[in-house]
Amino acid sequence: MEKEINFINQEYIENLLIEAKDTNYKEISRILDAAQNREGLTHKEVASLLEIKDEEQKRRLYKIAGELKKSIYGNRIVVFAPLYVSDYCVNNCTYCGYKRDNDFPRKKLSRDEIQKEVKLLEKMGHKRLALELGEDPINVPIEYTLDAIDAVYTTKFENGAIRRINVNIAATTVQNYKKLKDADIGTYILFQETYHKPTYEKVHPKSLKGNYEYHLTAFNRAMEGGIDDVGGGVLFGLADYKYEIISLMLHNEYLEENYGVGFHTISVPRIKKAEGMSLEEYPHQIDDDTFRNIVAIIRLAVPYTGMILSTRETAELRRELIKYGISQISAGSSADVGGYSDREEGKTRTQFELADHRTPLEVLKELLDEDYIPSYCTACYRMGRTGDRFMELAKSGNIQNVCSPNALLTLMEYAMDYGDEELTEKVKTVIARELENISREDIKQLTKEKLEKIKNGERDLYL
């Protein structure tokens, strides 16, 4: 039975935001002082930080956010790629290039075509994918999704193997979530798009997705279906961003209180130009300065939650936002069905415009130059470190005992399989440095032993 939906209270949120308009410099300073203790923020404190205007305080906000992320996750950055397998969709979301009213030849990938895409992704070095498809119960039922997952997991190309598939499909039933769990997915990802109900109904006209309550309770059903890692997010630009952030915090708290664990990840996409829509129709778009504040404030509010940034954003902005709280990024992405195969032929039809077109190799080199450790690790899922177990490790600070060594192991594996001479030299330097920084001698020794085994051709040796 679905739990009563009373956690997104529009009047409560709007009153909080009105009261916060009177927040002064002294109060923001107090909140930033408290945030350094990794205790998160109250709703009122989040609303108050959203009023930050002083440039000195903004710089302090960014600094604290970066320090919090590093204290929990170290300097690792998880790398992944999306895989679009179908653009069939019965919904008419006003902001989406795949909406029902857009007239173009729809397609869904066959099993062979999926495996062709996967081989190209494996050739790039990817180990973790986000499976993406539109909502169409006739053309792409749950059985199609399950077969796509199996096609991905069973495709091996040279040294490549996809070890974890996160899934982003439409809100569905408990029974279907059980099927996804049995298919061994990683995180179930679903964006609310907007928590502001009047706006939600306006931008999803005459659509299955237009049922606000059913969409909002999707994570309830996912949890009841056995999926304990869920990832939320909104599409910034549809409604007032301040309203959205408070709502995200309320949703996270609701899940923690009722299911023992909140969001594993929060994504922060901004609305982008897509076929069949004009950005002029959306008055709530946010500029880069506001976006910086959003990322940093979310990091302060939920210190232990992963934060995802896609190639919607430019390389320059992504580089900066990693310093303020982002912990996972996509690389070498295509937002088109069959896009990895079609890219060189110029035949792509993207769901939205992308801004960062660098290859994974280019992204990794830059991360290494900035003293980050690119990570392709997927060990937590396979070792059962999910849900409340993962959060317990994160909140105690012990997650770094597995995350940092595993990041080094996957980095070595990538360098040996896909790296050029320049990357390999960078990786050697980073591994030597990071081994010295590992505090526990048993973990350090085990990491050295596993690194040696990878050099000898063994794979999948993570802690």
Average pLDDT, stretch 17-22?
97
Residue 33: CB atoms within 10 Å: 11
- Asked if pLDDT for residue 3 goes beyond 60, the answer is no
Average pLDDT, stretch 447-458?
88
Q: Across the chain, what does the average pLDDT equal?
A: 92
* CA–CA distance, 281 with 298 (Å, rounded to integer): 27
- pTM comes to 0.93
- Look at residue 358 in the predicted model and tell me its pLDDT: 87
Among residues 70, 66, 75, the alpha carbon closest in space to that of 297 is found at: 66
Which SS3 state, helix, strand or coil, does residue 329 take? strand
Average pLDDT, stretch 193-216?
97
* CA–CA distance, 305 with 299 (Å, rounded to integer): 8
pLDDT digits (tens, 9 = 90+) for 77-122: 999 999 999 999 999 999 999 999 999 999 999 999 999 999 999 9
CB within 8 Å of 208: residues ≥ 6 apart? 90, 91, 135, 137, 170
Enumerate the domain spans of the chain.
70-352, 382-455
Query: Exposure pattern of 387-402 as b/e (b: 16+ CB <10 Å)?
Result: beebbebbeeeebbbb
Q: Can you read off the two tokens belonging to residue 38? A: 């990794």
Residue 193: CB atoms within 10 Å: 24
Residue 198: CB atoms within 10 Å: 11
Strand partners, 131: 83, 167
Which stretch of DSSP H or E encloses residue 167? strand 164-168
- Asked if pLDDT for residue 385 goes beyond 90, the answer is no
299, 259 contact by CB (below 8 A): no
Q: Where are the alpha helices (DSSP H) in 225-355?
A: 241-259, 288-301, 315-321, 339-342
- Look at residue 1 in the predicted model and tell me its pLDDT: 38
Distances (CA, A) of 89 to 184, 271, 415: 25, 19, 39
Cα angle value 155/132/200 (rounded, 5°): 170
- Look at residue 347 in the predicted model and tell me its pLDDT: 56
- Look at residue 353 in the predicted model and tell me its pLDDT: 63
74, 375 contact by CB (below 8 A): no
CB within 8 Å of 92: residues ≥ 6 apart? 99, 100, 101, 204, 205, 206, 207
The third-level CATH classification (topology) of the domain covering 70-352 is TIM Barrel (3.20.20)
- Asked if pLDDT for residue 388 goes beyond 70, the answer is yes
- pLDDT band at residue 346 using 50, 70 and 90 as cut-offs: low
* CA–CA distance, 29 with 303 (Å, rounded to integer): 18
Cα angle value 77/78/80 (rounded, 5°): 140
